[in-house]
Structure 1
Amino acid sequence: MYGVTTAGPPRAAEALRLEALTKVYEGTSRPVTALDAVSLTLPAGSFTSVMGPSGSGKSTLLQCAAGLETPTSGRVLVGGEELPSGGEAAVTRFRRGRVGFVFQQYNLVPYLTVAQNVTLPQRLAGRRPARKECATVLGVLGISELAERRPAELSGGQQQRVAIARALVSRPAVLFADEPTGALDTASGRQVLRLLQEAVREFGQTVVMVTHDPVAAACAESVVFLADGRIVDRLAAPDADEVARRMTRLDEVVASRHAGTGAAR
């Protein structure tokens, strides 16, 4: 369906591997462990949701896995290649070649057109913009007619589709989505989730999505549940009701664990 042949990094059967990933924040009073030796392997072409109570470490997991934060210890492999530790420049080059991002905020450059926003990461990486691939992805996402418009002329749902196109055009090994429907109305949010599902089915894209919404989480093939920086549960072929039930139980367990301590993270 996509017909995109952009030559990104070689595909690996294993899209993402986290090995004993740990992140400790040194606070003013005491260190806070946001991730506690998390290990996780996700195959290429999979769609995984990450859920957990507030402060469970899900956003930290995404940021460390995507190279936006440096873990305290452990390893991150994306598309079979280890995230480098040779400084910010090396990490930035790695991200541009292997990682795509979709956030709740669209992060579009207001003075660039849609087409220019989509190809901007390639320009920043010093590569020739893939105009044909850009046109193809815009067509698949149903926004070809918006190519010459600027972000201020678009609805929130249209801007999020532009952000998805920007993430997909370079064929990243993993697309990380952090609450991608959080700023959208219900109809636009459902459309964005369908587009992510379609990217997995038709494009072979690997998607890792952090969300607090059981309905959004159920659009994935599996759900990983975090609590206190650890993976505590997994659910395959999820449905929204079961996701909500497990989240309710997890919230109760975490609340009980922290009752009287005032230390809920």
Structure 2
Amino acid sequence: MRTERTHTETRGGTEAGSTALRLDAVTKVYGRNGRGVKALDSVGVDIARGSYTAVMGPSGSGKSTFLHCAAGLDQPTSGRTWIGDTELTGMNETQLTKLRRQRIGFVFQAFNLINSLSVRQNVELPLRLAGEHLDKHWLEEILARVGLGGRASHRPSELSGGQQQRVAIARALITRPDVIFGDEPTGALDTVTAREVLSLLRSCVDDTRQTVVMVTHDPVAASYADTVLFLADGRLVGRMDDPTADRVADRMTRLGAWA
């Protein structure tokens, strides 16, 4: 059963320090000379710490651009973004790279593991790259939490797809990030394995107050979240708290060109 918590999209309703992620009037235009494509159009949202948010919308609605701008992988054309109290807008690439390594975790559809490294070495990698101290007790706790305590010395090729995605989640957790971003994290998995991974992400929120923001096209995946944000034509057009798969699927039929 889900832990009850408060979410807000308005800055006036958040307590100091309770916001994990903020976008303020973010617009992203690709292209120039009057031929640009507006992928995001004045999107504003606050996402609370310790919450699980799914981002959904039709193809071309701006979901991936939302994630890229929110995570500092791309700079908005206009508007401002924050991770916690740190504003990303105006940071150079060196500063953004450091911030992503230290304060953001990523879980993608492609597991992005290094085949020549063991499970343990893959999970350690963000700390190694950042030149930070490795807390071995924390590493063991993370591996146990994702169900890989007995497979730390295995290579990715010796694991199932679901186990590889668990490695990716452990890697995302190792730096104790402010936010974990998931980009279709179950898109390459079968239904049973996908539910296991979604349950693991859910437990990260419920058990350790981690913040998860997940882009997905799947109403069942979205139903694991506390809140679903709906995008259409680059705009934030709706929000659903305590979603169910049926309610999300119904709302998806009434977005953008399908409205």
Q: Once the 2 structures are TM-superposed, how far is the Cα of residue 130 of structure 1 from its aligned partner?
A: 2.4
Query: What residue number does 1:3 align with?
Result: none
Is 1:94 equivalent to 2:99 in the alignment? yes
Q: Distance in 1 between matches of 2:205 and 2:123?
A: 19
* SS of residue paired to 2:24: strand
Aligned residues: CA RMSD: 1.4
Tell me the secondary structure at the aligned position of residue 145 of structure 1: coil
Identity in percent: 57
1:49-60 equivalence runs, <5 A:
49-60=54-65
* 2:200 partner SS: helix
Q: Deviations over 1:189-243 (max 9, x none)?
A: 0000000000000011000000000000011001000001000010000000000
Contact map agreement 1:84 1:94 (CA 8 A) in 2: no
Aligned to 1:106: 111
Q: Match for 2:210: what amino acid?
A: Q
The Cα of 1:96 is off from its aligned counterpart by 1.2
Q: Determine the structure 1 residue equivalent to 2:227.
A: 222
Give the structure 2 partner of residue 247 of structure 1: 252
1:13 counterpart residue number: 18
| Residues 49, 209 of structure 2: 8 Å contact kept | yes
Please, which runs of 5 or more residues in structure 2 have no aligned partner? 1-15
Alignment counterpart, residue 50 of structure 2, candidates 9, 22, 45: 45
Amino acid across the alignment from 2:128: R
- Asked if 1 retains the 8 angstrom alpha-carbon contact of 2:219 and 2:249, the reply is yes
Verify the 8 A CA contact 2:63 2:231 in the aligned structure 1: yes
Q: Is the 8 A contact 2:75 2:89 kept in 1?
A: no
Unaligned stretches of 5+ in structure 1? 1-10, 257-265
Aligned residue identity for 1:94: L
Query: Is 1:222–1:234's contact at 8 Å kept on the other side of the alignment?
Result: yes
* Aligned mates of 1:98, 1:249 — CA distance in 2: 36
Off by >6 Å, runs of 4+ in structure 1: none
Cα distance between partner residues in 2 of 1:12 and 1:192: 29
CA distances 1:149-195 after superposition (whole Å, capped 9, x unpaired): 11111110000000000001111101000000000011110000000
Deviation at 1:12, TM superposition (A): 3.0
Q: For residue 93 of structure 2, what is the amino acid of its counterpart?
A: E
Q: Secondary structure at the match of 1:171?
A: coil
2:120 corresponds to? 115
Please state how far the C-alpha of 1:84 moved relative to its aligned partner.
5.1
> AA paired with 1:254?
A
State TM-score, norm by structure 1. 0.89
SS at match of 1:39: strand
In structure 2, which of residues 169, 172, 179 is the aligned counterpart of residue 167 of structure 1?
Answer: 172
TM-aligned CA deviation for residue 29 of structure 1: 7.6
Of 203, 207, 225, 2:212 maps to 207
> Of the candidates 237, 241, 254, which is equivalent to residue 242 of structure 2?
237
Q: Judge conservation of contact 2:181–2:214 (CA < 8 Å) in 1.
A: yes
Report the Cα distance in structure 1 between the residues aligned to 2:178 and 2:242, rounded to whole angstroms.
23
Is contact 1:18–1:65 with CA below 8 Å preserved after alignment?
A: yes
Q: TM-score scaled to structure 2, two decimals?
A: 0.91
Q: Distance in 2 between matches of 1:81 and 1:29?
A: 33
Whole-angstrom CA distance in 1 between matches of 2:253 and 2:146: 35
Size of the alignment, in residue pairs?
244
Tell me the distance in 2 between the aligned counterparts of 1:37 and 1:86.
Answer: 20
Cα deviation for residue 255 of structure 1 reads: 4.5
The residue number in structure 1 matching 2:186 is: 181
Alignment correspondent of 1:150: 155
State the one-letter code of the partner of 1:124: L
- The equivalent residue for 2:5 is none
Cα distance between partner residues in 1 of 2:33 and 2:124: 42
Which residue of the partner structure matches residue 6 of structure 2? none
